[in-house]
Amino acid sequence: MSDPLSPIFAALADPTRRAILSMLLEDDMAVTDVAEPFQMSLAAISKHLQVLADAGLISRERRGRVIWCKLEPDALKAASVWMQGFGQFEPVDLDALERFLETELRDDSDEDVP
């Protein structure tokens, strides 16, 4: 794998996929359950999950007829670490964190969970 960062950032560039990651942060989920809040087809969600898996951001494991999706934080960490190479970002600014999580939440509900 010669350029691991590009697929990671590309995967993060879609609000649906970021919403999926947020959901998986809470708990592992079956594909059907991941798809439930969105208004697009199950096949579309399946493709999004494939993109996330290709980027290494999630893994999928079949248990019975259900496939469980699980967050794989290492890939995200790689991207996070690359960003910190740009220095000057104080590790965590809680005010900014709060503001941006709010923004993200509002965007997700506007665009993906009507």
Which of 21, 24, 49, 52 binds DNA (CB under 7 A)? It is: 49
Quick note: the x/- pattern for DNA over 7-26, rule CB under 7 A, is: ---x--xx-x----------
Burial 55-82 (b: 16+ CB within 10 A, else e): bbbbebeeeeeebbbebbeebbebbeee
Range 107-113, long-range pairs (CB < 8 A, 24+ positions): 107/15, 108/15, 108/18, 108/19, 108/22, 111/15, 111/16, 112/15, 112/16, 112/19, 112/37, 112/38, 112/39, 113/19, 113/37, 113/38, 113/39
Distance CA 15, CA 106 (A): 11
Comparison of 11 and 49: residue with beta carbon closer to its own copies: 11
From DNA, its own copies, none, interface partner of 61 (C-beta below 5 to 8 A by class): none
Residues within window 53-92 making contact with its own copies, judged by CB under 8 A: 71, 73, 76-89, 91-92
Least spacing, CB of residue 106 vs its own copies, in Å: 8
Which of 61, 66, 84, 100 binds DNA (CB under 7 A)? It is: 66
Comparison of 52 and 99: residue with beta carbon closer to DNA: 52
Tell me which residues touch DNA (CB under 7 A).
10, 13-14, 16, 30-33, 39-44, 46-51, 60, 62, 64-68
